Amino acid sequence: MKIKLSIFLSLVVFAAGCSFSTASMSSFTTSKDKEGKTEATTFKAGETLYANAVITGSMSKTTTKISMTDPSGKPVTGSEVKIDLPSSGTAAYSLPLPASVPGGKYTVVADFMDDKGEKKDSKSVSVTIEGAPAAAPAAPATDDDDN
């Protein structure tokens, strides 16, 4: 009887130390509309880039950090946002692209953390930004004195 009780208690202690959370980021998409109905990976300077990270299976608070890196891999200033959810749900993100943004391949990254701040999942989407048209070269100066 003591052996059965000791095995049972060992199992209870083991189970208490394990996390059986199935929380995850089931999807991460970028779009041209707030609701995410029109998925897109190409944006123009001056448009707003929207992203949605869908968190599933969580019974406690979660934090999703979404940010963007430029073509060289450097963080885009002002693009990082932390979104707290009370449990499962959609972490919605929007980033108005300045009219002067340089064109190129960018990466939008979502990092999902549990209520303890431990990173549980990460997903990224490569996006192309069509930059502002290059300014027309200045006309050469004329020398009216040559006439």
Task: Find the distance separating the first CA and the last CA of the chain, reported in whole Å.
Answer: 115
The pLDDT, as a whole number, for residue 5 is 44
Q: Which domains, ranges and CATH numbers included, belong to the chain?
A: 21-133 (2.70.50.60)
pLDDT band (50, 70, 90) for residue 19 = very low
**65 closest CA partner among 22, 100, 113:** 113
pLDDT at 75 over 90: yes
Cα gap 108→31, rounded to integer Å: 12
pLDDT at 71 over 80: yes
The pLDDT, as a whole number, for residue 22 is 84
Report pLDDT digits (tens) over 89-147.
999 999 999 999 999 999 999 999 998 999 999 999 999 999 876 555 655 655 555 55
Cα gap 103→46, rounded to integer Å: 12
The pLDDT, as a whole number, for residue 131 is 84
Mean pLDDT, rounded, of the chain: 85
- The structure tokens listed for 59 are 């019974």
Averaged pLDDT, 14-29: 70
